[in-house]
Chain A
Amino acid sequence: MLQAILIQTVNGIVTGMILALVASGLTLIFGIMDVVNFAHGELFMLGAYVGVLTLAATGDFWLALVAATLLIALLGAAIYLTTLRPLLGRDPLTTILATFGISLVLQNYALWQFGPVARKIQEPFTGQFTLFYLSYPWYRLVIAGLSAAIIGALWLFLKFGTFGIWIRATTQDRLMAQAMGIPVPWVLTAVFAIGSGMAAASGVLFGPLVGVNHAMGLDWILKAFIVVVVGGMGSLGGSIAASIFVSLLEAYAALWVSPAQAVIVSFVVLILTLLFRPTGLFVPTVR
């Protein structure tokens, strides 16, 4: 029993890291642009599909990862310029509606283009090591490490990169940033592209664990929404902590009930958060 719990701990952290990668893109876009990106899950899914296609063409997993990230980042920029820029300055609720429309289009496009049968991404290496009584694939640990590395890189970029500082300045005061000569329209486009690219990267990384199909984005967008609310909206650190917290709880719950029902645990966490700390669990209380 103890060993099962330990294995679920590792599993929970691995899923938690991928979720954190998805959610931090969502948080970044929300925190900076006030856009709730309903299409985030679809970008995740399309990223996985680009990964499948590149992998089939070249056979190189890492190339597929880079290609998916760049291509979906470009798609994100195109989506931003065509549909979200015209909504700038309107009620943030309209962005939910517009991105919901985008998600409908993208999801059905994927169904049309790739069909309902799930595709498989071959993991780049298949080595395993013994974790207690189970042989545990190395690949899972590598995903967790890579996700952490990408999030860490994002953090460093925001903290020290010139462009990152522009992004943070835009978050604090868009008008003032513009007055100081920061090209705000470009910053916003770039942020949407970066968030989209992160979603695509997590799609490719997660692809080998389950099949890739057109509806896979939905589970993730819901989980990411939960995590973003539980972690405190717009807080990067909060959503990472919440990702791992929620994934661990779900992993433990899966010891007793089926994985489909384990989702209810994260719903309960959300309800309790709304009841007692509606600003988010991992946000320091402002006095």
Chain B
Amino acid sequence: MRDRRHAVLFWTGFAVILALLAVAPLVLPEFWRRFLTEILIWGLLAMSSDILIGYTGLVSFGHSAFFGLGMYGAAAALLATRPPSLWLALLCGLLAAAAVAAFVAYFSTRLRDIYFAITTLIFSQIFYVVIFTWTDVTGGENGLTFRRPPLAIPGLFSMPFTATSLHWFVLAVVAGSYLVLRRITQSPFGMVLQSIRENEARTRAIGYAVERYKIVAVMISGLFAGLAGVLYACQNQFAAPDFVFFLVSGEVVIYNVMGGIGTLVGPFVGAAFFLLLREGLSRFFTEFYLIPVGFIFIAMVIFMPQGVLGFARRWLNR
């Protein structure tokens, strides 16, 4: 009985927020419309890392690698084919991110806790160095620019993206990803991940192949991070090595901590909170907004380890 009430509550809440986000671009001015689309994309990246940080208990400091490779994979597909195809870009971006995720997962899941965090950080720097120095293919420091593909289903229709339809496309992908990720965390597989977080030795003793579960978790997480990268490439029409740099990974961790780890919605809210904070603070502090953000972040780590949404966790994710 309570479960059903929760389900009804969840789906109405989900529908209301989805409807609000869908109507928003029609009423918001240009700047805030772009801003909202960006929040959706960074929110997807934050949710993807929550699978590792919040559910499996592995703090990844290397999510920029998955995000960036998704971005460069999409860029490669958009530059190589003419006319550019959205679906091919999506496929290539996801393949690139999955390949990187498999590589990172294979090595880093041998380690735990701090060691995992450090190795993921170093792995993302490997990809950064490769992308930064391999100028012939990746454009080096300048990155790549390309044209946005049209929204098309081959044989049916094809139309160029407008700012509004791009927002709707991003919203659809992000909302779908949220439902998939939520399903994953509630599945038996997700339960095993959470039991690894709570007590790894005991999970192994029960008979679960912990390493294999961790590898799959990293790959799922990397895949959705790559999806966010593809969306970002479509939105901004360029790929730059800055997005592979570890500062992006650090920001993703900040989203998680600010919003509340292990809630999926929390990191999303954290991303929105961080971006709004940056927008507001950079009016006063120009490019040094990271100083006050850093202080707020430290304070939250010490005083509010559950994040903004932590207290509402059970209520939201039942």
Contact = CB atoms under 8 A, between A and B. Distances in A.
B301 interface: yes
A98 B133 contact: no
A226 B122 CA distance: 8
Taking residues whose C-beta sits less than 8 angstroms from the other chain, chain A's interface range is 35 or more
A201 to B, nearest CB: 24
Contacts of B295: 101, 105
A155 interface: no
Given A92-B114, A226-B122, A97 B107 contact: no
Interface in B301-318: 301-302, 305
Contacts of A100: 250, 253, 297
A30 to B, nearest CB: 8
A96 B253 CA distance: 11
A113 to B, nearest CB: 10
A128 B111 CA distance: 46
A93 B129 CA distance: 26
Nearest to A30: B114
B199 to A, nearest CB: 14
Nearest to A225: B118
A29 to B, nearest CB: 12
Contacts of B301: 87, 94, 97-98, 101
Contacts of A260: 129, 132-133
B107 A101 contact: no
A187 B298 CA distance: 23
Contact of A263 (B114, B129, B294): B129
Interface of A: 36, 83, 86-87, 90-94, 96-98, 100-102, 104-105, 107-109, 111-112, 222, 225-226, 229, 233, 258, 260-261, 263-264, 267, 270-271, 274-275, 278
Given A97-B59, A100-B253, 8 more contacts: A87-B301, A97-B257, A97-B301, A101-B294, A105-B295, A108-B294, A264-B126, A267-B129
Shortest 7 CB-CB contacts between residues of A and residues of B: A105-B294, A104-B294, A101-B298, A101-B297, A108-B290, A267-B126, A112-B288
